[in-house]
Amino acid sequence: RRGGTFVREELMPRGFVNDGTTFMNLDDGWRDIDRADMLQVKDEHVAGGQRVGIYDAPFAYWGRDLDAQVPYLDEPHTFREIVVKDAQGEPLAPLDTAYAFDVTHPVWQEWTRRKAQFYFDWGFDFAKFDFLSHAGLEGYHADPTVRTGRQALKIGYDFLADVYDERRIGRPFYISISISPMLPIGSFNTRRISCDSFGLAEDIEYVLNAETYGWWTCGRLYQHNDADHVVLWRSFDMTRPSTDEEARARYTTAAIAGSTMLLS
């Protein structure tokens, strides 16, 4: 809420907009906020002339209890049913502490449709999809014709593109993807050019290295590159705040990317 007020009252009047529009995105922590409070914050941003986005990791499950029930469904199903299995039918070991969902499983597909409808009904216009590489893990899927992780990933990408198709929704909906393979393409607006990056000199070097190889994807494979959250002072996992010089350099890396400018 404070961040949205700062952007609305301090930055937007100074021209920090794109065709009059500024997005405020609720990242992963939105699930820890009471839903009524979360929607009130969203409404405050909208009333102030901002558009609001939300976060999801549709291919990854961070829960530890695989026997927990999948929410929002009419019939009971567990997460164990919808994760990728090994040759013995056991869930694959977690990657980055998260299990990989089986994007060919009809229960995962129905659950994903239900979540998307919530986002539409709540009035969001933007989604960040994170950890999309998980769908590409090699394993055994509900659809026996799917033999490779890359084949499953393409199915997952195409499924999300269909669910979030603007023609289906009836209004524009912007999608940014993160921690994702370069291909397949053509389904989303923006792809993050690097993994997590922060605001220190080593982060700036890392982003510039990614841009050396990926600058050309902007306007070609994707509408924009995303240079990750542009830290101008301090973010989590930083041992100290950015210096003024580091903040300027970090902002410059985002401009070089030809990117969405995601201030954090």
* pLDDT tens digits, one per residue of 23-81: 888 888 898 889 999 999 899 889 888 899 999 999 999 999 999 999 999 999 999 99
Query: Sheet of 224-226: strands edge to edge?
Result: 23-25, 51-56, 126-129, 174-177, 190-192, 224-226, 259-260
Which two three-digit tokens encode residue 225? Answer: 């590159």
**CB contact at 8 A, 132 and 178:** yes
Distance CA 147, CA 138 (A): 8
**Which residues, other chains included, contact 202 with Cβ-Cβ below 8 Å and sequence gap of 6+?**
none
Distance from the Cα of residue 2 to its chain's centroid:
22
pLDDT lower than 50: segments of the chain: none
Identify the CA nearest to 25 among candidates 6, 42, 2, 5: 42
* Residue 88 DSSP SS3: coil
What pTM does this model have? 0.92
Question: What is the structure's pLDDT at 64?
Answer: 92
Which two three-digit tokens encode residue 53? Answer: 């986005």
Question: What is the structure's pLDDT at 22?
Answer: 86
Question: What is the structure's pLDDT at 36?
Answer: 93
The values of phi and psi at residue 111, to 5°, are: -60, -40
* Residue 128 DSSP SS3: strand
